[in-house]
Each structure stands twice: as C-alpha cells, then as structure tokens.
Amino acid sequence: MFLHCPVPDFRANLGYWKRALQLQDWRVSVMLVPAAELDSNAVGEMDIAARDKMATIRILREQDSDLPRRLARADQQLTLVHELVHLKRMVDGDAWHNEAETVAQTTALVRSHHRWREAAAIEDYKGWLSNNPSGASKTPSPLKAAH
Ligand SMILES: [Zn+2]
C-alpha cells in the first residue's frame, strides 16, 4: 500500500544512527503514515518485537504536518533519532518510556554528532513555535510529545 512504503530518504540516516547507537543487530524499518494512524498529537511511534530484534518506526507524513515543509522534513529526521533513542534505552535497560530523558538524550546526541539537519530542526522548531504558539497543541515536535 502506497502510504506504507518504506521511505528511501530515511535509509542513510537510519544506518548512521543505528551505528551511532550500536543498534546494528536490530532490523528497523521506517514508515511515513497519516495522522490517523498515530496517537493524537504524536508525530512518531514505534512498535518493537524485542525477541526478534525488530522495530517499526512510524513517522507522521509531511502532508499531515502543520509545520512548514522544510521544517516538517527536518522534524521527521529528528523523530527518527528520537525513536531510536527510545529503542537504545530499552536495550540498555533504562526507563525507555521516560520522555524528558529521551528528549534530552536525543538533543545531546544530535549535537555531539554535529548533525546539522537534526540540530537545525531543534532550533527551527523553537523559533517557529515562538511565532506560532497555537501550533504546539496541533503538531507537537518529538521534542515535546512524541512517544
Ligand atoms: Zn518519545
């Protein structure tokens, strides 16, 4: 089905962050999905089959985002990292649902790797939000409310 096709653009970044987080032995797939397939206000979710070391990350598709296009795409890449950090935390036995710690860890990771695109998404989102305060409730960034 069209909406569920894996997205080639995410492959390189997925490979990069799997290596960075030492998750190479996991099979992770990424799908872009409509808002209706995510929890309300979520921009990303992950299904994990721990025994099989498989994970599926679902990310809000660009056309359902309230963010400007450039920001929406950067936000998708950041969501990918955020969900992988959740996975890494689970593997390490940390409190993997802890959203505040996951956000902090994601931010630190992106900055330490000098990944301009994801880092720009963090800064752009803050700037955009200050001009669009109502946007926060509609399309939370993974920095705020992704699962
Ligand atoms: Zn999260």
pLDDT at 139: 41
Distance from the CA of 85 to the center of ligand 1, in angstroms?
8
38 CA → ligand 1 middle, Å: 13
In this prediction the pTM is 0.81
Please say whether the beta carbons of 146 and 83 come within 8 A. yes
How far is the C-alpha of 140 from the C-alpha of 116, rounded, in Å?
21
The string of DSSP letters for 64-75 reads: G-SS-HHHHHHH
Contacts of 81 (CB under 8 A, 6+ apart): 13, 17, 106, 109, 110, 115, 118
Q: What are the sequence ranges of the domains in the chain?
A: 10-146
What confidence tens digit (pLDDT) does each residue in 4-56 have?
444 556 888 899 999 999 999 999 999 999 999 998 888 899 999 999 999 99
* 128 C-alpha to ligand 1 centroid (Å): 20
Residue with the bigger pLDDT between 145 and 32: it is: 32
Report the separation in Å between the CA atom of 145 and the middle of ligand 1, taken as the mean of its atom positions: 6
Q: What pLDDT does residue 142 have?
A: 47
For residue 54, list its beta bridge partners.
Answer: 27, 49
pLDDT of 114: 80
pLDDT digits (tens, 9 = 90+) for 88-136: 999 999 988 888 899 899 989 988 888 777 777 777 777 766 776 655 4
Interval 67-84: pLDDT, tens: 887 788 888 888 999 999
